[in-house]
Amino acid sequence: MTVTHAPPGQLDVGLVGERWILIFGGVTRQGRRNAGRAASGALESGLDVVWFDGFDEATEGVLEREPLDGTQPAGNLVVVDFAEAQSRTTSSRLRSGGSLRSNPVARWIWKVLLRRIGSALRPRSCWLVVKRDLRALQGHSPPEAIVHGDDYAITSAWHSGRIWRSVQIRTGWSNGEA
Amino acid sequence: MKPHLLYIAFWYPPSRASGVYRALATTREFIAAGWDVTVITCTREFLEDEIGSTDESLLAEIPSSVRVARVPFTFGLAVDVRLLSWFSANFPTVARALHPRTASLRGTITAISGGAPVSHRFADNYVTWIEPVVEEGARIHSRHAFDHILATGNPYSSFEAARRLSEIAGTGFSVDYRDPWTIDVFTGNAEITDRATRAVERQIVASADTCFHVNEAIAGAYRRLYPEYAHKQQVVHNGYDAESIPPSPRSATPPYKFGILGTANDRWPLDAIFKAWKASMPGLPAGSELLLAGHLGYFARSQDVLEAYLPNDSSGFRYIGPVPKAEVADFYDSIDVLILPVPGGVMVTSGKVFEALALGKPIVCVQSKGGGARALLESHPLAIGAEPNPESVKSAIEEAARMARDLDPSLSAEIRFKNTRYERHIAMQPMVDAITTSSQIGDRP
């Protein structure tokens, strides 16, 4: 198995084989975990994985576990780390507040309004960051599945579903209210 | 004339949610105690289209005299992402947040135009179920008056529906907390801190006749949270169904079968168990197996993800899939050691622990020290507590194999006899007694 990291917009389609799955991990820890599980399973089944990871922490050790029989997964993993690129978007700036947080009035406006707008725009902003790479993959063979890890990845999965209309879209592991 | 119980149970067959077994037992016990029971639950369409999983065999477990009213509910966001509208797909967090709020707005308009008052401005994904349940409950009450209303949560919107209906019907109501609502079941800290939700819970606890809890830790937490209503907090253990326990267990013979039964979820310490199993294999009799039985996750979409997570067959592991309720006893009879994966701490007991107690077989309970399930198993002579790490589970597996080898049948029989006190029929009785008393049914001519 080879693991390749790429910034958004620089995905090398040549690293992706004929049989692959597309994973949008979203921007949350839960999304990262869900995506990691989906990636582990796909890699062990011999599929290549293209994983858009927007969670803002190092990507080391994201695969949930090592195979019990000690074998290496057969597929290749291409991780597009878009957290940094996403942090430069308007939605992210609204969410973080930046210098607004130093002034009490501005902080209040940020807290009740701007932060919420930033969060609301975030799924779409993730899509805008990753869509260039998706266009590059459009000429490739269709993925075997599209997986989204959290709510912030829904937009990217939905738009990808419009590119590959017959490909199954599924969620990663989800919190059940059972 | 028989007393009439309205039971609000969102999860009821053909749902296969973990709360269904307690809900079924509740209806069975009230029927056995001479009550008429009407259940309000969600629709099959919701279970099939949005949850994506049902267990049709559970429908046969509903007592024939129970009347079931199915009240529609939807999350508003379809499971299939392709079915989302442009707005929901591009602003999913907004769409999800707006869904209950627009329902609340609809409720306000209803109230202004003379309809039912709005009482559900609190955090719960199921608040939009309250109004239809209240409407349906009022309709049923007008034809066959209730003597008591009992609601089980989650979802906790059921509690508010019960409170509202009790005002309309002029009857008492009780709530059955299968988990704590505003307290984190895993840490014991405040889980929900928003004022509206806490106020609604306080109002429900203040108005309810009794609040039932599945273990002492949760009941204790609620006594501390609402000291003025401490007397209302009562424990009704989950218990086990007698038909799930093999009538006469066979003796363990090598190679041993270790078994896990239940709906696997991402909080189970499965990774530690699988690693421990791999490490234990060389020390166990050749041909020993680890069997995992049950659904993989609650939602249909969870299955693929968890399946990829399981070890392969060559490691002595076998996933045997879901086991119908009628075959649970056969599964237990086929294994020599039960492995019980339980997440969380003191408030988490797991329904399966009561079956484990009654089996009379060695048990490896994988839960952090101080956990609720481990506390229940503390005095069980064949139970071994293991921390959720591979080393601890490995040594517990090895010890359990020794226990299985040396197991004295008389000790097994003694354990089985002693733990019949957790048989569901006995365990649920305090709930029936408390509601019968508070409804003053015994005083009827």
Instruction: Indicate if B398 and B280 belong to the same structural domain.
Output: yes
Domains in chain A, number? 1
Q: In what order do the strands lie in the sheet with A20-26?
A: A3-6, A77-81, A48-53, A20-26, A145-148, A168-171
Instruction: Indicate if B221 and B313 belong to the same structural domain.
Output: no
* Chain A: residues touching B (Cβ < 8 Å): 33-34, 37-38, 40-42, 44-45, 64-65, 68-69, 119-124, 127, 148, 151-152, 154-155, 157-159, 161, 169-174, 176-178
Instruction: Indicate if B186 and B285 belong to the same structural domain.
Output: no
Q: Is the pLDDT assigned to residue B2 strictly greater than 80?
A: yes
Instruction: State the pLDDT at residue B128.
Output: 80
Q: Is the pLDDT assigned to residue B100 strictly greater than 70?
A: no
Instruction: State the pLDDT at residue A58.
Output: 63
Instruction: Indicate if B100 and B193 belong to the same structural domain.
Output: yes
Residues 6 or more apart from A50 whose CB is under 8 A from it?
A: A11, A16, A20, A21, A22, A23, A78, A80, A137, A143
Instruction: State the pLDDT at residue A52.
Output: 93
**DSSP-assigned beta bridge partners for residue B67:** B38
Low-confidence ranges of chain A (pLDDT < 70): 58-73, 91, 95-101, 172-178
Instruction: Indicate if B276 and B333 belong to the same structural domain.
Output: yes
> How far apart are the C-alpha atoms of B90 and B79, rounded to whole Å?
15
- Domain-located, residue A18: yes
Token pair 């442009």 is found at B86
Q: Is the pLDDT assigned to residue B184 strictly greater than 90?
A: no
> How far apart are the C-alpha atoms of B6 and B175, rounded to whole Å?
12
Is-contact B342 B373, C-beta < 8 A?
Answer: yes
User: Quick check: bond before B255 cis, omega within 30?
Assistant: yes
Instruction: Indicate if B345 and B313 belong to the same structural domain.
Output: yes
- Domain-located, residue A15: yes
Mean pLDDT score, B151-175: 94
Instruction: Indicate if B208 and B304 belong to the same structural domain.
Output: no
Instruction: State the pLDDT at residue A175.
Output: 30
Q: Which amino acid is at A95?
A: R
- Domain-located, residue A112: no
Phi, psi for residue A115 in degrees, rounded to 5: -60, -40
Which domain covers residue B102, as residue numbers? 4-236+428-443
Is-contact B221 B347, C-beta < 8 A?
Answer: yes
Instruction: State the pLDDT at residue A69.
Output: 47
Instruction: Indicate if B339 and B353 belong to the same structural domain.
Output: yes
Q: What's the whole-number average pLDDT of chain B?
A: 87
Domains in chain B, number? 2
Instruction: Indicate if B217 and B274 belong to the same structural domain.
Output: no
- Domain-located, residue A95: no
Asked if B406 has any chain A CB less than 8 Å from its own CB, the reply is no
- Domain-located, residue A7: yes
Which domain covers residue A136, as residue numbers? 3-85+126-171
Q: Beta A77-81 vs A3-6: how paired, if at all? A: parallel
- Those of residues 149-168 in B touching chain A at CB distance below 8 A are 154-155
Phi, psi for residue B106 in degrees, rounded to 5: -60, -40
Instruction: State the pLDDT at residue B270.
Output: 87
Is-contact B208 B174, C-beta < 8 A?
Answer: yes
> How far apart are the C-alpha atoms of A62 and A52, rounded to whole Å?
13
**DSSP-assigned beta bridge partners for residue B258:** B290, B337
Instruction: Indicate if B45 and B167 belong to the same structural domain.
Output: yes
> How far apart are the C-alpha atoms of A154 and A127, rounded to whole Å?
9
Each residue of A9-20: pLDDT tens digit?
A: 888 888 899 999
Question: Looking at residue A65, which CATH number applies to its domain?
Answer: 3.40.50
Question: Looking at residue B65, which CATH number applies to its domain?
Answer: 3.40.50.2000
Percent of chain A predicted with pLDDT > 90: 24
Considering CB atoms only, which of A124, A151, A170 is closest to B304? A170
- Domain-located, residue A23: yes
ipTM: 0.83
Minimum mean pLDDT range among B71-75, B390-394, B439-443? B439-443
**HSE-up of residue A4 (Cα within 13 Å, Cβ side):** 17
Q: Is the pLDDT assigned to residue B335 strictly greater than 90?
A: yes
Mean pLDDT score, B59-72: 94
Minimum mean pLDDT range among A135-149, B93-107, B170-184? B93-107
